[in-house]
Amino acid sequence: MRILEDLNIDYEVINYLKDPPSIDDLKIISKKLNLRPKQFIRKGEKDFLNNSINCFIDDDTKLFELMNMYPKIIERPIILINEKGCIGRPPENIYKII
């Protein structure tokens, strides 16, 4: 976020652990990231491991449902600027979308 502040780019922080994104929101995020859902899931997260989510790793529809149910498995932070997005780790990824 410091990079965005240094460049005077407005941003909004959404705490999706408290307010999980809807399935439709996850589809939009996926499109903006240009990634399939399996590409922005935290595969080492307890919710991923304890709920056999790996069984659905190639089923995008099911993964969106599971990401909504278990938001801790969503990679973070996710940065969205207009129609583009990136995973904010490392922070320098932001330069790819501005």
Q: Which of the residue ranges 19-28, 43-52, 79-88 would you say has the lowest mean pLDDT?
A: 79-88
Structure tokens at 98: 């501005």
Which helix H or strand E contains 23, and what residues bound it?
helix 23-33
Domains identified in the chain and CATH numbers = 2-96 (3.40.30.10)
**To 5 degrees, how large is the angle CA 72–CA 47–CA 35?**
55
Q: Which pLDDT score is estimated for 43? A: 97
Q: Which pLDDT score is estimated for 14? A: 81
Residues 6+ apart with CB under 8 A from 36: 30, 60
In terms of pTM, does the model score above 0.85?
yes
Q: pLDDT tens across 51-70, in order?
A: 999 999 999 999 999 999 99
Summarize the confidence of residues 20-41 as an average pLDDT. Answer: 97
